[in-house]
Chain A
Amino acid sequence: MLSVVVFLPLLAAGVLIALPRLTPRAVQTTWVAAAGVELVLVGVLWSGYTGGRGSGEGAPGFAGPLAYETDLEWIPSIGSGYHIGVDGLSLPLIAMTAVLFLACAVYSLRARQERPRGYAALFLALQTVSTGLFAALDLLLFFVFFDLSIALMYFVIAGWGHGDPARSALRFFLYTFVGSLALLVGFIGLYLAADPHTFDMVELAGQTPLDGRAVAGGAVLLAIGVGLAVKTPLAPFHTWLPPAHTDAPAAGSAILAGVLLKMGAYGFARIALPILPDAWRAWAPGIAALGAASVLYGALVALAQHDFKRMVAYTSVNHMGYVVLGLGAAGTAAAGTAPQAAQLAVSGAAVQLVSHGLLTGALFLLAGVLHARGGVYDMGAYSGLAGAAPRFAAVLAVAAFGSLGLPGLSGFIAEFQVFTGGLGLAPIPTAFALPGILITAALLLRAMQRLLLGRRRLPPGTAFGDLRPAESAAIVPLLVLSVLIGVLPRTLLDVVAPAAAAVAELVLR
């Protein structure tokens, strides 16, 4: 079942490539249909998910019991298998991935795309790779998906970007690829340390092979950490992000920020923390400090931007910083203390992954609308759009307020948990990160004020039409989901909280 979910988009991509002479319309319809079916299947997975109870025995010592597990031989000579499954950490991300890819498919209906077949096929393949990564329970499988995502995104940016796409795409590829090599070194370190040698995450989490070996554990954590930090991205490993985003097509940016960045942060929660708990605990204060530094640095640099899309890109550095802060703070919890604070911090980090995917996805698609109408991202070129495009203004306002952490939207649920759990565990980094929500508020309000309010001004020779049905249909559901999580957090937390509790327990044992 899970394998079907993983590979269905790839199948659809294959069909698109294999069938010659499809009209662009047919290509787009097929894409939307495939993404829609995928979402329905994920919905079935979600409704059948009972926290692991009654669907397989689950793996003790891992982040909660697993569901929909498949474990087949793949490369037995090195102990690597096709092992996939979901739990409370990965299922929300798989669902978010399905939602965001469908949104991008719908968004792409808005206008005729150049070379639509390749575009749709690339996105469908990316969807398989992303879903597979979140479901992977084997380090080598994870790594393959991790690298494929980089390669596929390279083609999206280079082939369909604007500005200087070839250069940005190459920089993105090289930077994140070098990061993935560090990741591979770390994985091999884990493989060699395990007895018997294995790449299986569940077995590794049961063994925690490097516990008690401070130097080796630290070195492996460093390698894995650098690899994931590039992709997350944590400051100072983020400089590939702004050019990649500014030059990528809108849907590509939405996927890059919404899904691909999650792979790094998810890796921390999925691999680094459960398999290297000792090293994580030892380095947790530093990790939390790095997260807090990212929060502040990303927010401040975003505040200085004039380019709307670049600004949103930097807020990603800020938002992903909260994830690392939460996971780091959880690591500082002393063994034997009350688990609630660590649990809150981890749960906040996990919610932030989903929330950021929805909100930043919406913001990047809105940036695409801005570019499609006015041809530039420069905020100084626009003013008073609320009159010309009231729906665009309203949707942008909701997305911006969500992104600045307004209660009632998902971002608050994430950040409040990180702060509340983190303050007692890691007081100094958390206190430093706290002004982050003020700076993001300042920069998003300033952006809204420049773009939406005041007297009307547009780049010369352009007209600013309001959101079209396809654009609304792509963006509004993302915000509706964010509000749903913000108002009724239990819809998400019922799945996430047990997994967060399990991760917190791993650290506290």
Chain B
Amino acid sequence: MDALIWILVGLPAAAGALVLTGGNRAERAAAPAAVAVAAVLAAVAVPAVLHRLAATAPGLPGIGFGLAVDGLAAVGVCTLAAVFAAVAVFSWGEREGEGGRSRYYGLLLVFAAAMLATVMATDLLTLLMAWEVMGAVSYGLIAFHWREPRTGSSAAVAFLTTRTADLGMYAAAGAALAGGAHNLDLSELAGLSAPWDHVAAGGLLVAAAGKSAQLPFAFWLSRAMDGPSPVSALLHSATMVAAGGYLLLRVQPALAAAGWAAGAAAYLGALTALVMGAVACAQRDLKQLLAASTSAQLGFVVLAAGVGGVSGGAAQFAAHAAAKSLLFLVAGVWLVRLGTQDLGRLRGAARRHPVAGACFAIGALALGGIPPLSLWAAKDLVLAAAHLPGLHTAGLAASALAAGYAGVALAAAWGRPAPSARHEASASSTAAPGVGAAVRLPLVGLAAAAAVLGALALPSVHHWWAVMLGHPNAPAPGPVQMALSALIAVAVLGAVALAGTRRGVPAAERRGVRALRAWLGLERAARAAVAVPVLAAARGLAAFDDRVLDRAVTGAAAGVPLLAGALGRRVEPAVDAAVTALAAGVRNLGAQARRPQTGLLHQYYAQAVAVLAAAALVFVVASAVM
């Protein structure tokens, strides 16, 4: 039975690899294959969730590959299976006949495998592998239209920003081993020895903030919008981006054990929800608005992890996935048919595609926190656990901003189009395809999910949910709080939508608005603070390598002939002269030595006497001295 869990990861991975390498033959089979895999995944997910499967396989020395389905993973698996199925069916209906299908579906399938492994991973090795594969697939899908000059750099910005944050997870893995979690088990991270517990918690917090587009990493999500809309629906809103918040929910005990990390997560999430909510309100491009709102909404998940509200965070994760993937899919429908995602030009789009428009409305109302829809319930669950000072107020303010940007989107979709635009649009719509059943079905399904998850507001449903997640005593919001948040949402969304439908998108161009629209210049700041200095250092070192290091070696080598020349010119004659002088000296000595050999016997006797006398003298002196 437990082997079934490998199918959840292995099947989409294998199918994806086959589709990617299948060449032209795979082009036609790609979409049906993806839908079939989605169906199998949904079917296998049921026993996996019901029986809480778990399995491990040998990996590195002492560290295994571990997958398991617990309450939180059940939420993750179901969310991924549902959104993946919706996106696969939608793409089949919407993208048939386009080029590059094997690449598109192949990457989506590999992504599904990686995301499933991410949510089910029980150790840092498995998690990190799946986590980074998601990033690479995201690169490939953002650069899907690779001929466009901008997509390549957008994909690189997204990949490099998230990988920068991923260094935190590499550090966390090292810290886990050093701190005593020998198999890198996620459940053991809360018991690491100091100071490694702080390194691990901090590293995971950074990695999660990067993936979930929290401040200051949020800008990559704006660039990720260069990918196809269904990709944004699956990766860049519902699942991959949300994985950061999900990870923090999973390692919440480790954050709490490190002390500061939990508080940092809570305030980081609240700050992102506020700031990125404001950024979303200022956008004039639908996908950019949705992207900024993704950062803001996931801020609530991060906040929940920081305050220990795992059940609220998981609810927010699932509800946001349903609502946001729905909104992105509808944005994709309009982009294909109307050729724009500009809010001004989209005016009235919902009226011309009523089913899509109605689904969009449900998604936007849910996003704005309108009761009794899902995100209203989820956000209240998150805020019910937020007891740190200021967090509750910040959360309410962020909810008001959410109602604001939802109102902006809603007004643009359902507002009356300007007369000229109406004419233009009707001209283009005659050529554009209708919204077929394969497109409608996933939209309606996601809309139903975005609405029904509001049932979490019911105490009994919430209790079941909290028990499933293993937090049976999770705090539930009181009726006053729920009424207050509902009132704020309805009032703000109503006011913004009314003003928007009357006046259209405001053309006011204040400086603050421009800064918000440009995502606060975060990307430029990151370039100036990181990319520019690194590139300058790289160029400097390359110049050093060529001009100093290499020269030094060549110089040293060139020194050898110089030295040889010097030796030849100076030392060699001197040595030669010395040798000649020595020879002359020896010859001289030889001539001297010949002189006593006179052949006269009496002179030899005299010499012998002299030598003996000298020897005797030496002997006497030596013995006297010793």
Q: Does A78 contact B (CB under 8 A)?
A: no
Q: A424-B178, A441-B159, A454-B147 are in contact. Are A406 and B538 (CB under 8 A)?
A: no
B155 CB to nearest chain A CB (Å)? 8
CB < 8 Å: which of A305, A423, A441, A493 contacts B163?
A: A441
Q: Which residues of the partner chain A approach B184 to less than 8 Å between Cβ atoms?
A: 420
CB < 8 Å: which of A423, A439, A453, A497 contacts B175?
A: A423
Decide if B174 touches A424 in the complex (CB within 8 Å): yes
Decide if A497 touches B549 in the complex (CB within 8 Å): no
Residues of B153-168 whose CB lies within 8 A of A: 153, 155-156, 159-160, 163-164, 167
Q: Which residues of the partner chain B approach A441 to less than 8 Å between Cβ atoms?
A: 159-160, 163
Residues of A79-137 whose CB lies within 8 A of B: none
Assembled-state Cα–Cα distance A435/B531 (Å): 13
Decide if A301 touches B541 in the complex (CB within 8 Å): yes
* Chain A residue with Cβ nearest B17: A483
Q: Which residues of the partner chain B approach A422 to less than 8 Å between Cβ atoms?
A: 174
Assembled-state Cα–Cα distance A426/B179 (Å): 14
Assembled-state Cα–Cα distance A129/B132 (Å): 39
Assembled-state Cα–Cα distance A305/B541 (Å): 11
A497 CB to nearest chain B CB (Å)? 5
Q: Does B622 contact A (CB under 8 A)?
A: no
* Chain B residue with Cβ nearest A299: B538
CB < 8 Å: which of A303, A344, A407, A438 contacts B177?
A: A344
Decide if A424 touches B164 in the complex (CB within 8 Å): no
CB < 8 Å: which of B152, B178, B550 contacts A454?
A: B152
* Chain A residue with Cβ nearest B129: A407
Q: Does B171 contact A (CB under 8 A)?
A: yes
Decide if B61 touches A303 in the complex (CB within 8 Å): no
Q: Does A253 contact B (CB under 8 A)?
A: no
Decide if B61 touches A493 in the complex (CB within 8 Å): yes
* Chain A residue with Cβ nearest B58: A490
Decide if B132 touches A407 in the complex (CB within 8 Å): yes
Contact with B along A351-395 (1 / 0, CB 8 A): 000000000000000000000000000000000101100000000
CB < 8 Å: which of A301, A423, A434 contacts B538?
A: A301
Assembled-state Cα–Cα distance A453/B145 (Å): 9
Decide if B146 touches A386 in the complex (CB within 8 Å): yes
Assembled-state Cα–Cα distance A46/B360 (Å): 60
Q: Which residues of the partner chain B approach A301 to less than 8 Å between Cβ atoms?
A: 538, 541-542, 545
Q: A445-B160, A489-B60 are in contact. Are A407 and B542 (CB under 8 A)?
A: no
Q: A423-B171, A454-B146 are in contact. Are A297 and B541 (CB under 8 A)?
A: yes
Decide if A417 touches B60 in the complex (CB within 8 Å): yes
A483 CB to nearest chain B CB (Å)? 9
Q: Does B537 contact A (CB under 8 A)?
A: yes
Stretch of A34-42, A56-64, A210-218, A408-416 at the chain-chain interface: A408-416
Decide if A344 touches B62 in the complex (CB within 8 Å): yes
Assembled-state Cα–Cα distance A416/B155 (Å): 24
Assembled-state Cα–Cα distance A413/B542 (Å): 29
* Chain B residue with Cβ nearest A498: B61
CB < 8 Å: which of B61, B539, B545 contacts A500?
A: B61
Q: Which residues of the partner chain A approach B129 to less than 8 Å between Cβ atoms?
A: 407-408, 412
Residues of A171-187 whose CB lies within 8 A of B: 171, 174-175
Q: A449-B156, A500-B61 are in contact. Are A406 and B133 (CB under 8 A)?
A: yes
Q: Does B624 contact A (CB under 8 A)?
A: no
Residues of B120-164 whose CB lies within 8 A of A: 125, 128-130, 132-133, 136, 139, 143, 146-147, 149, 151-153, 155-156, 159-160, 163-164
Decide if B177 touches A341 in the complex (CB within 8 Å): yes
Decide if B152 touches A449 in the complex (CB within 8 Å): yes
Decide if B535 touches A239 in the complex (CB within 8 Å): no
* Chain A residue with Cβ nearest B537: A300
Decide if A424 touches B541 in the complex (CB within 8 Å): no
Q: Which residues of the partner chain A approach B545 to less than 8 Å between Cβ atoms?
A: 239, 301
Q: A493-B60, A497-B61 are in contact. Are A421 and B146 (CB under 8 A)?
A: no
Residues of A contacting B: mostly: helix
Q: Does A468 contact B (CB under 8 A)?
A: no
* Chain B residue with Cβ nearest A338: B182
* Interface size counted on chain A using CB atoms at 8 A: 60
Assembled-state Cα–Cα distance A171/B555 (Å): 12
**A297, A300, A344, A452, most chain B CB atoms within 10 A:** A300
Contact with B along A434-460 (1 / 0, CB 8 A): 110111011001101100111100000
Assembled-state Cα–Cα distance A431/B196 (Å): 13
Q: Which residues of the partner chain A approach B163 to less than 8 Å between Cβ atoms?
A: 437-438, 441
Decide if A340 touches B146 in the complex (CB within 8 Å): no
Q: A423-B177, A442-B160, A453-B152 are in contact. Are A239 and B132 (CB under 8 A)?
A: no
Decide if B538 touches A300 in the complex (CB within 8 Å): yes
Assembled-state Cα–Cα distance A340/B63 (Å): 10
Assembled-state Cα–Cα distance A305/B545 (Å): 11
Q: Which residues of the partner chain B approach A386 to less than 8 Å between Cβ atoms?
A: 146
Q: Does A419 contact B (CB under 8 A)?
A: yes
Assembled-state Cα–Cα distance A351/B147 (Å): 37
Q: Which residues of the partner chain B approach A171 to less than 8 Å between Cβ atoms?
A: 554, 557
Assembled-state Cα–Cα distance A497/B63 (Å): 12
Residues of B531-565 whose CB lies within 8 A of A: 534-535, 537-539, 541-542, 545, 549-550, 553-554, 557
Decide if A416 touches B58 in the complex (CB within 8 Å): no
Assembled-state Cα–Cα distance A441/B178 (Å): 26
Decide if B62 touches A340 in the complex (CB within 8 Å): yes
Q: Does A246 contact B (CB under 8 A)?
A: no
Assembled-state Cα–Cα distance A300/B139 (Å): 22
Assembled-state Cα–Cα distance A407/B136 (Å): 9
Q: Which residues of the partner chain B approach A442 to less than 8 Å between Cβ atoms?
A: 156, 160, 534
Q: Does A347 contact B (CB under 8 A)?
A: yes
Q: Which residues of the partner chain B approach A343 to less than 8 Å between Cβ atoms?
A: 61-62
Assembled-state Cα–Cα distance A453/B136 (Å): 16
Q: Does A75 contact B (CB under 8 A)?
A: no
Assembled-state Cα–Cα distance A500/B178 (Å): 18
Assembled-state Cα–Cα distance A344/B177 (Å): 10
Assembled-state Cα–Cα distance A448/B155 (Å): 11
Decide if B60 touches A419 in the complex (CB within 8 Å): no
* Chain B residue with Cβ nearest A431: B171
Q: Does A430 contact B (CB under 8 A)?
A: yes
Q: Does A19 contact B (CB under 8 A)?
A: no
Q: Which residues of the partner chain A approach B478 to less than 8 Å between Cβ atoms?
A: none
Q: Which residues of the partner chain A approach B554 to less than 8 Å between Cβ atoms?
A: 171
Decide if A344 touches B60 in the complex (CB within 8 Å): yes
Contact with B along A327-361 (1 / 0, CB 8 A): 00000000000101101100100000000000000
Decide if A340 touches B538 in the complex (CB within 8 Å): no
Q: Does A236 contact B (CB under 8 A)?
A: yes
Assembled-state Cα–Cα distance A338/B193 (Å): 15
Assembled-state Cα–Cα distance A305/B136 (Å): 23
Decide if B167 touches A438 in the complex (CB within 8 Å): yes
Decide if B133 touches A445 in the complex (CB within 8 Å): no
Q: Does A463 contact B (CB under 8 A)?
A: no
Assembled-state Cα–Cα distance A425/B164 (Å): 23
Q: Which residues of the partner chain B approach A268 to less than 8 Å between Cβ atoms?
A: none
A407 CB to nearest chain B CB (Å)? 4
* Residues of A in contact with B (beta carbons under 8 Å apart): 171, 174-175, 236, 239-240, 297, 300-301, 303-305, 338, 340-341, 343-344, 347, 384, 386-387, 401, 406-408, 412-413, 416-417, 419-425, 427, 430-431, 434-435, 437-439, 441-442, 445-446, 448-449, 452-455, 489-490, 493, 497, 500-501
6 further contact pairs, Cβ within 8 A, besides A420-B177, A424-B175, A455-B149: A171-B557, A301-B542, A304-B535, A401-B136, A453-B146, A489-B59
Lowest 6 A-B CB distances belong to which pairs?
Answer: A423-B174, A424-B178, A407-B129, A304-B542, A453-B152, A303-B538
What are 16 pairs between A and B in contact, CB < 8 Å?
A: A239-B549, A305-B542, A406-B133, A416-B125, A416-B170, A417-B60, A419-B170, A419-B173, A420-B177, A435-B167, A445-B155, A445-B160, A448-B152, A452-B146, A453-B147, A454-B152
* Residues of B in contact with A (beta carbons under 8 Å apart): 58-63, 125, 128-130, 132-133, 136, 139, 143, 146-147, 149, 151-153, 155-156, 159-160, 163-164, 167, 170-171, 173-175, 177-179, 182, 184, 196, 534-535, 537-539, 541-542, 545, 549-550, 553-554, 557
